[in-house]
Amino acid sequence: MDNKVTSEIYNEFDYTSPLKPIINTENVVSKFRFKCPPKKPLTDKDGDIIVCRKPKKENYRIIQIEHSRRTALDLVGLQMWRGSLLLADWLIFNSDKFPKDNFILELSGGVGFTAIVASMFYPVICTDVEKGDLFQLLNGNIKRNQLLVRNPIHILNLDFFTQIIPSFVVENLDKISVILAAEVIYDDELTDAFLRTVEHLLSVSSTEKALYLTFERRYVFTIEDCDAVAPCFEHFLRQIHLSKLSYEEIPLDFPQYFEYDRIKQMVFCKLKLKV
């Protein structure tokens, strides 16, 4: 029986490229095109906006990612998922929101896509579990996109089930502006461990911060319910209610820079410690 899964995004847009994988010959290299945000309008000495009469061509850049096309459930971090693209859109839109000398911390960074986008604006701490070819892929993808990477990316091992926080994270916790995670809500045991880790990180920090989380609410039809339900999402909400965390959904009305379907099943939320 084949228990492997494939990310839905590969069937929606053609991300293929002729580039060859380096880490694993069975991998593929995908090219993700994104539209650069417009620069802030120029102003004159009186503060009035200088109107540009000549229309400008849209400026596009490319991120190249080596990844697996199909994996077992416990290795889905070797693929690309929709939540990473949504999180990247939000990062670009909010690129001037946080102090430039502070870190962005990403949990379960996968193949490094979101970390690469974040590094265009801030120093990044990218964490995940070192298994399979994951850390090799992370380092390889950072090198592939070295022209986009403007700030250092620190790659560290962090397992939600052990909750051993890397010393570099502990030492710089107060200089972490924001914590990010994408597509970690697909297994109930993993969800529980993830939420315990988030609660711990937010609790030990002396400065108030939040975690921004994106994932797809996946529905399945069950005989018991005679309906389509989202069991992993419902378990997530129950565990939030039992935790010290508050849950706030973020509207998906910010601009879209990457090419993907921003479907209605996408969830973007902010988790903070309850007051």
Per-residue pLDDT reduced to its tens digit, 132-142: 889 999 999 99
pLDDT at 49 over 80: no
> Which runs of consecutive H residues, i.e. helices, occur in the chain?
82-93, 113-119, 134-144, 167-171, 188-204, 231-242
Average pLDDT of the chain, as a whole number: 90
| Strand, helix or coil for residue 257 | coil
Residue 206's pLDDT is: 87
Every domain of the chain and the residues it spans: 73-273
pLDDT of residue 42: 46
Selection from 136, 75, 87, 94 nearest residue 114 by Cα: 87
- How far apart are alpha carbons 177 and 148 in whole angstroms? 21
Q: Cβ distance 64 to 31 under 8 Å?
A: yes
Reference 76, options 245, 215, 201, 192; nearest CA is 215
In the CATH hierarchy, which fold is given to the domain comprising 73-273?
A: Rossmann fold (3.40.50)
Find the range with the poorest average confidence among 153-167, 179-193, 227-241, 257-271.
227-241
Distance of alpha carbon 143 from alpha carbon 67, whole angstroms: 14
Give yes or no for residue 114 having a pLDDT over 90. yes
CA distance 132 to 75: 8
Hey, what are 220's tokens?
């399945």
> Residue for token digits 């390889």?
140
